Amino acid sequence: MDKLVQFTGDHTLLVLALMISFFVLIFTELRRKAGGLVNVEAIEAVKLINNDAVVIDLRSADAFSRGHIVSAKNIPSDELEAKMTSLEAMKSKPIVAVCDAGITSTKAVNTLRAAGFDSVYGLKGGINGWSQAGLPLVTGKKTKAKKSKKS
């Protein structure tokens, strides 16, 4: 115990920096938990999708056709509030909101949670994070190629 007191006295700035870092870490974690989990990593999103989550792609129809997650529903972010009534049927299911980089989806998650949806998550990093995790995307070209092979 004497050595600890001596170390603290000899390295006051170092101990002070350690204590501040510790309290900042605790404060940040408590604030994150109080706000509820908003964004999920791509792997966590896959688990949600496998457990019957609905994927809402908030990008434009053009961006959606260039590549989207399997079974995703395209509802551009500017149309989200107008289509809120059609989403009411999905209130009981988890919802994963996807955009390009994860910024628009966080706003959509907050909008949906304010409307009474409980299990709504944004994909961290958006479709870019999904691609960087090496997960597949459905594109219009691949879909057309599959159709032509079946014919």
Residues 17 and 50 in one domain: no
* 65-115 pLDDT, tens digit each: 888 888 888 988 888 888 888 888 888 888 899 988 877 888 888 888 888
Strand-pair partners of 21 = none
Residues 77 and 94 in one domain: yes
Tell whether the model's pLDDT for residue 14 goes beyond 80.
Answer: yes
Residues 9 and 64 in one domain: no
Looking at residue 149, what is its pLDDT? Answer: 45
Neighbouring C-beta atoms of residue 35, cutoff 10 Å: 9
Residues 119 and 56 in one domain: yes
Residues 51 and 20 in one domain: no
Domain holding 51, by residue range, is 39-139
Neighbouring C-beta atoms of residue 44, cutoff 10 Å: 15
**CATH code for the domain of 130:** 3.40.250.10
DSSP assignment of 25-85 equals HHHHHHHHHHH---EE-HHHHHHHHHTTPEEEE-S-HHHHHH-B-TT-EE--GGGTTTTHH
Please give the average per-residue pLDDT across 4-8, as a whole number.
Answer: 91
Looking at residue 23, what is its pLDDT? Answer: 93
Residues 76 and 17 in one domain: no
Alpha carbon distance 24, 26 (integer Å): 5
In a domain, 145, yes or no: no
9 burial (CB, 10 Å; 0-12 / 13-18 / 19+) is: exposed
Looking at residue 35, what is its pLDDT? Answer: 59
In a domain, 147, yes or no: no
Residues 88 and 111 in one domain: yes
Looking at residue 147, what is its pLDDT? Answer: 44
In a domain, 151, yes or no: no
Q: Which two tokens stand for residue 92?
A: 């009981």
Looking at residue 34, what is its pLDDT? Answer: 60
Residues 29 and 58 in one domain: no
Alpha carbon distance 113, 124 (integer Å): 17
In a domain, 46, yes or no: yes
Residues 21 and 74 in one domain: no
Count of domains observed in the chain: 2
Percent of the chain with pLDDT over 90: 15
In a domain, 60, yes or no: yes
Residues 8 and 55 in one domain: no
User: Which residue carries 């960087």 as its tokens?
Assistant: 132
Residues 120 and 52 in one domain: yes
Residues 88 and 26 in one domain: no
* 109-140 pLDDT, tens digit each: 888 888 888 788 888 888 888 888 888 888 86
